[in-house]
Amino acid sequence: MLRPVNPKRHKVSGACFAIIASRYNTQYVDAMLRAARAELKRAGAGQIRVIRVPGAYEIPVVAARLARGASARNSDAPPGAALSAIICLGVILRGETVHAAHIGEAVSRALMDIQVRYELPIIHEVLLLENEAQARARCLGRKHNRGAEAAQTALQMANVMRQEL
């Protein structure tokens, strides 16, 4: 069941975020990207870097490069300190074969591994959907936009990771 986007306002003054967005299924991904950027700007993000990749399968390698670079630049700081979070946006629509499921599983596993390895929040909104109706419901509306939800999660995780754990 879809739940409306929670209008809570999180503040992260000056925090830096990266968004990796697939070009495949552009109509849906672009809508999520717009919503994510708007949410981060509203919260006071200092920098929002957007990197476009051909498809969902290419998202993890860019996430790993960003996470590793953030860690290397701040060797005295906790890993990933330069970035508060990386948001990954993509839409995979199932077809007649299992190819979409393989892509979705590989991307999910890789993003989880990167997040744990670099101790940097990787927000996973690479959606594996059955059809375009599901994509429209989750990506094109304001009420249920997964891009806005991804940004809200990134903001919450930025605040969690700033705390001494």
* CATH of residue 98: 3.40.50.960
In this structure, what token pair is assigned to residue 56? Answer: 């969902």
In a domain, 98, yes or no: yes
Domains contained in the chain, number: 1
Report which residue type is found at 160. V
In a domain, 119, yes or no: yes
In a domain, 156, yes or no: yes
| Each residue's pLDDT tens digit, 88-147 | 999 999 988 899 999 999 999 999 999 999 999 999 999 999 999 999 999 998 788 999
- At 108 the three-state DSSP class reads helix
In this structure, what token pair is assigned to residue 105? Answer: 């599983």
Domain extent for 89: 59-131+142-160
Residue 70's φ and ψ, nearest 5 degrees, are -65, -40
| Each residue's pLDDT tens digit, 141-159 | 878 899 999 999 999 999 9
First to last CA, the chain: 33
Residues serving a catalytic function are 99
